[in-house]
Each structure stands twice: as structure tokens, then as C-alpha cells.
Structure 1
């Protein structure tokens, strides 16, 4: 008698670890966590088939709250660890998670190279424009003039534009989300997981404790969905809308399908004609020896 395949429909509870989140009340990261749960549930993944990789920061605690595999790395090293996991076992679904500081400051170099390699990983960045874990310093996405304890006269630094940085570096799926719209974020996470290549979802995730400017109300007033006629395959259109600050656009700004991923190149280099290259070269050299 042939084996029967039993399909189990998961609930959100299947993806919870039992460890309660330690974020401040009202933190935007709660919405991101629920969106991750819902995204995984929508895909129907077994928890053991998923790895959540994070760096250091308030948002990087997220893997503790999930029943999937998790790797809490050192500061800024989310992408190297995610790369190693994905290359070692391409069958795993790897989600990278962290804050704007972890992604674009100490981890900025790794972010660029993960994008140019088109690593098959979905990176959800919880962007609160502040360093929350260290009690409120400016981050790479803080606005010019932003006042903190370490910048009492306002920061003179211009902010990084995460979406333009991702596109310029070679990411093939670039989206923006808002943790105050968790259903839409869950859908973007599903799309990011399904995308073959490096998927970046920069997510506005307000910090109610240390950032009194970029609040939930601020983003509800500033953020709008992309127009229905937006062409996500048009990189120049995506670039222009990523530049807009009033309004800021939510949704998939840019998508390029059919690009070979980093794992595809690794597989080609270790099998098939490329793997046979040393033998071919040896045979040619023997003819002239």
C-alpha cells in the first residue's frame, strides 16, 4: 500500500516559541513579528524548514520568539551567516531580520555584497530611525537635524535611502512596508520568500520610547500605497518613487525575475561543465607536454 502524504494546516501558534517578546509597549516590532508568523503560516512551512537570522538590536531579538530555527549573530553580521546557511542547505527558507543600524551601519558592507550576489534570502529590516537598544542615538536612517542625547544640536548626516541602496547594489526585489499595516506586510513577506533572489523589505517600525518624531501617526499621514499603474519592472520609475518623501510609497517598488541567484552560481561552479574545467585544462596541457 503506497504511503499517504498527510498535509497539516498550521496555525500561528505553531510558529511561536513560547518566549514572550521583551519589546516596549507600543513597539512597531510586534506588528512585524505577527506578520512573520502569518507569512510562514500562509506558506505552510514546517518550522524546522525555516531559519531566522538576526544581528544585534531590539528588533534582532525576533528569532527568540519563533519556533523555527534561529541564529542570533554578532552586530552587523546577519548577511554572512545567512549566506553560509543558504549555501550549505539551499532547501532551507532563510529570513534575515534586524534593524536599520544593524543593516546599514556596521552591516552596510555586507548588505551591499548580499545584494550584488543576489543571495536567495528575504531580508526584513525594521526601520525605526533610531538606536533603541542603546537608549536612543541617531541611526543611518535618521533625518537631518534629528535631536538625540548624542546629537543635541541635531545630526548633520544625511540619511541612507534603503530602497535606492538596495536597487543600486543589485537587489532583485525591493519593497517598503509599515508595521502598522501587518496584513500588507505579511503579504510582502510571502512575496519576498517566493522571489528567487535577494528580497529587501524595508519596514517602518516606530520606536515609541526614543523616537517621538517618526511615530505611527507620522507614517499613517505620510505613507500611501503605490499607484495601481506602478510598473515594478521599471527601475527608473522605482528609483523615482523610492526618492519620494511626501508621500512615501508602500509596496513592491522593484522586481526583476529570472536573474540567477548566488546559489545558482555556486551550484554551476561545483557541478556540470564548470566543475569539469580542471580536467579539460589538464588534457590540453598534456598535448603540449
Structure 2
């Protein structure tokens, strides 16, 4: 057993962080996007943001060089949950909200797999909220892609746990009264070790975040702003509108000063209360500008960043908010099992079931 309480498996990536991908068998054959496409007709509404996310994932996975039979996509219920049908890997279309639970069983029993969860804001944060937060706090070796379109799309346009207050939908004709979840704040509050946000239409940024998530040791949650052009069109339009997006999008890069704006004239400064405030670069000293530290074990900075765009998209951070190293649940469980086997032997299930007091019923 290694000195950090793990079983010592895994490798270290270029950033000095431990990764468990070394346990997943590699392929000797060069892969392309076509290798990850199935013969199934992709059936989402024309113009849906899911198409862009699917294409980004299919074109990014060949970079990992993993055997396709050692990759699994697990989904729940919703538009996004059709994902496993379109990935030429193993997959499981499970039940509403339970994808993290099913994926946890798979990841902990099969360390030779790269396990991905595909879910939506309704699937993950309503009926599945309990499963999501416990996967995050346990740090199971899962990669969770949370498609957030702020609406229930599959069931035709009811408000979701991320819909804004006052949202008028078929189920809230007078406007929603519910205060919405912030998925990143929730994940950071659950001590998620990798928490990120990206946008369906920004393929380069989306794939850069996916690369980092794939290499992460434990649970990686990636919130993807995804447009539902049928029931909630233009929900994130300010972040896509070329005339304003650069002025309101705060791109986070670990170790870099948080400066943004079309002319790089804006910056973030940490206030005495711990929150962030937007300042003009010309009005502050270099030392006052916050430097992003995704590896800080204290989650307070990441949490403050996750609150920056509340309640509207006036200034919206995207990128990796938190990326800290902690032993994964899978590693700790394997070490515990190895220790029990070493001290007590392999055991005999049949003998265990028939041991102790028994009764015969006539």
C-alpha cells in the first residue's frame, strides 16, 4: 500500500498529477472520429446543441488511445441520455437520475474501464440530485458531462432545477417560484475534486476541458451550457453573441491573472468578503488582480467564482474552476479489499452464507 492510502496504481501526467487512465488498456490501432460513430440514426431536434457535443466527444476520444471496449457511457433519462446509442463503445441507458449510481458500481468493480456519465439538468439535479452529490463527495473515478439547457426537453418544456425564477413554461404558466440550482456551486459544495464549465458551441474550449477531465483522478464534473432551440432557445445567447461575448465571458486558466474583455481591459479582484468584483485593469495595480488557482485545496475561491454570474450572465466564468488531487474511492476500496484478503484470506461466499445459526423450515 502506498503512503497516501491508495493501492499505488495509476500514473502521473505532465502536470505531476496522478491519473488512473494507465489502468485502462490501450489500442495499437490508430483511431479516428469514425471509429466512435455507430450505425444508429442520431435523433435529436434539428439545431440541438447535443449534436455539437457528440461530435466533440467522438473526435476527442481517439486522442486517449484507449480500446473502445474499455470505454463505457452511462446515461439516465432525457434528451442527452440518448448519447450511448451514438457512441461505438460499451454503454448503458439506465433509469431516471440513477446514472451516477450505476456508473459507480461499474467503475469500482472494473478499474480497467474509462467510465463516463451523460446527464441533463433535470436528470442529474432533480430525481438524481442525491446520487450526483454522493458520487462527487466520494470521488469515484467517473467523468460526468452535465448538459444544462435550463429546461426539461424530452418531456416537452417543463421548468427544470436550473430554470430561472419567473420562468414561464407549460408547468409554470404564471412563472416558476423555485430558486434554481447552480450546478457548479453544488458540486464544489460537495467537495468535487474537478469542476468545470464549457459551452456546446465552443468546440475548442469544450475539448480542452474534456482532455483535462479524462486525465483526472476521481470524479470530474463538466457542466456544458447546451441550447435547446425548441423549448428554451437562446438561453445562453449572450455567451454566443459575437458582439458581447468577449466582454462578459471570463476564461479561467490556472496560474494566470483573471483578465478578460474584448480589449483585455477588465479583471477580477477578490474583495475582503471573499467574493469577486469586476474592476478595470487601468484602475488597479497588478497585485490586486486575482490569479486563478484551480489546484487550491481550499474550495472557497472556486465557489466564489461559481457565483460570479448570479443571477444573470453579466460576467460568466468558463473553464476549470477546481482541479485538486485526492485519492479516488476506487483506489481506497481496492486497497481495503487487498488488506482484508491479506489478513483474512480470500474467503468463501458459500461458506459465509451457510455459517452461523441456521434454521430448517419443514
Task: Provide the secondary structure at the position in 2 that maps to 1:63.
Answer: helix
**Per-residue CA distance 1:29-59 (angstroms, 9 max, x = gap):** 1111112112211112221110000000001
Matched, 1:202 2:223: yes
Aligned to 1:264: 331
Q: Which residue of 2 aligns with 1:28?
A: 49
Q: State the TM-score, normalized to the length of structure 1.
A: 0.90
Partner residue of 1:19 out of 17, 40, 43: 40
Which residue does 2:301 correspond to in 1? 237
Q: Any gaps of 5 or more consecutive residues in structure 2?
A: 1-25, 258-291, 346-362
* Cα shift readout 1:180-220 (whole Å, capped 9, x = no counterpart): 112211221121111001100000001000003504x2332
3-state SS in 1 of match to 2:127: coil
Is residue 86 of structure 1 aligned with residue 107 of structure 2?
A: yes
Alignment of 1:182-201 (within 5 A): 182-201=203-222
Aligned-partner Cα distance in 1 for 2:166–2:34: 43
CA distance in 2, matches of 1:15, 1:188: 19
Structural RMSD (CA): 1.7
For the pair shown, the structure with the greater C-alpha radius of gyration is 2
Q: How many residues align?
A: 272
1:78-227 → structure 2 map (5 Å cutoff): 78-215=99-236, 217-220=237-240, 221=245, 222-226=248-252
* Mapped partners of 2:249, 2:148: distance in 1: 14
Instruction: Provide the C-alpha distance between the structure 1 equivalents of 2:178 and 2:187, rounded to a whole number of angstroms.
Output: 20
User: CA contact under 8 A between 1:39 and 1:187: conserved in structure 2?
Assistant: no
Structure 1: unaligned runs, 5 residues or longer? 280-289
1:254 deviation in Å? Answer: 0.5
Q: Structure 1 119/212 Cα, relative in aligned 2: closer, same or farther at 3 Å? A: same
CA shift digits 1:38-91 (9 cap, x unpaired): 221111222111000000000100110010001000111101110111111111
Indicate whether 1:255 and 2:323 are aligned.
yes
Following the alignment from structure 1 to structure 2, what is the Cα–Cα distance between the partners of residues 262 and 98? 21
The answer to whether the 8 A contact 2:27-2:67 is kept is no
Q: Does 1:7 align with 2:7?
A: no
Distance 2:27 2:124 in 1: 40
Contact 2:198 2:224 in 1 (8 A): yes
Higher helix share: 1
Measured in 2, the distance between the counterparts of 1:69 and 1:278 equals 35
TM-score, normalised with respect to structure 2? 0.72
Change over 3 Å in CA distance of 1:268–1:79 after alignment to 2: same
CA distance in 1, matches of 2:249, 2:193: 23
Give the distance between the partners of 2:31 and 2:178, measured in 1 at CA.
46
